[in-house]
């Protein structure tokens, strides 16, 4: 049992070393229609052209999921703890699940 534990520790330590060596710099790429973008390792991307980037930010700000907490959302009031339920979610305005309170 002791050797299995030591082997597990060594495997975890090797994994941490391998993760530290990953290259996390953004990559510049070109889309199919010829627009230059920057790809980040976490999956985000942005336009390299500042005018297009500003236009995309304004467009993205209109979507409710990109707002911090829209006024019509439910939950998540106390210091950001809990889940914020956006309009259109299946759990939005469902009421209580307690059968005694229905």
Q: Tell me, yes or no, whether 58 and 85 share the same domain.
A: no
Please return the burial class of 44, using the count of CB atoms within 10 Å of its CB with bins 0-12, 13-18 and 19+: exposed
Torsion of CA 89, 94, 99, 102, to 10 degrees: -170
Q: Tell me, yes or no, whether 57 and 31 share the same domain.
A: yes
pTM: 0.46
Domain count of the fold of the chain: 2
Q: Tell me, yes or no, whether 34 and 50 share the same domain.
A: yes
In which domain, by residue range, is 40 found?
23-62
**Is the separation of the CB atoms in 80 and 68 below 8 Å?**
no
Domain assignment present for 12: no
Per-position pLDDT tens, the chain of length 102: 676 667 667 666 666 655 556 777 899 999 899 999 999 988 889 999 999 999 999 998 888 777 777 677 777 767 667 777 778 888 777 777 777 876
Q: Tell me, yes or no, whether 27 and 49 share the same domain.
A: yes
Domain assignment present for 4: no
């Amino acid at each position: 049992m002791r050797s299995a534990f030591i082997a597990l520790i060594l495997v975890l330590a090797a994994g941490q070393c391998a993760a530290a060596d990953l290259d996390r710099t953004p990559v510049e790429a070109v889309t199919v229609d010829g627009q230059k973008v920057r790809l980040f390792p976490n999956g985000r991307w942005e336009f390299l052209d500042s005018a297009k980037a500003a236009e995309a930010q304004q467009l993205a700000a209109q979507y409710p999921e990109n707002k911090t907490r829209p006024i019509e959302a439910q939950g998540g009031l106390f210091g950001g703890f809990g889940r914020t339920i956006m309009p259109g979610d299946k759990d939005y305005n469902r009421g209580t699940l307690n059968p005694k309170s229905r």
